[in-house]
Chains A and B, each alone.
Chain A
Amino acid sequence: GENVEQHPSTLSVQEGDSAVIKCTYSDSASNYFPWYKQELGKRPQLIIDIRSNVGEKKDQRIAVTLNKTAKHFSLHITETQPEDSAVYFCANFGGSNYKLTFGKGTLLTVNP
């Protein structure tokens, strides 16, 4: 995948609210779209992913949607908790080489 744009760069919500982070990509050959959560000083951790033949995937409070026609995918977190505070990176993979391309990240702050 090449060129992933991620918005917003920062997001502040109240505990219990929902948070949505959006990414767009340019490589139509991309076939895998993971989301990573990175807490300060720690490794990126995969929290959810979606493959190109699926439009939506949900895992408890986290969901990801993919629109291949529009080339965008989104992360939805419901009932946010303070421990959801972290930097979230979208990424895409595929195309002509084995490269995972990251968005610039979103700093999510959940206020108690």
Chain B
Amino acid sequence: AQSVTQLGSHVSVSEGALVLLRCNYSSSVPPYLFWYVQYPNQGLQLLLKYTTGATLVKGINGFEAEFKKSETSFHLTKPSAHMSDAAEYFCAVSESPNAGNMLTFGGGTRLMVKP
């Protein structure tokens, strides 16, 4: 069975500071990994994904994540936080490929950006 752990349910950074949101997963097979972002009162939006190939993945809004198999991690980073980055972020894992494209989500990390 696969699982996802997001360390820190709340993360606070200053505007312009580095954003680092942590995600560790467990999977018995090579995983597909995802980060989603949820703005207040909205649905989830795909930020980036790792399937195969390059382990450093770039997404929208300046975010990127690196798949590290040895550490079973897929941490999300952004060099400089903007106020508009304040949202909740979800990491998800999928066994690749699988019937039904099933995803397992982490508990989420709420990012707060201070002016």
The reply to whether chain A is a binding partner of chain B is: no
B residues neighboring A (CB under 8 Å) = none
- Residue positions of A touching B, CB distance < 8 A: none
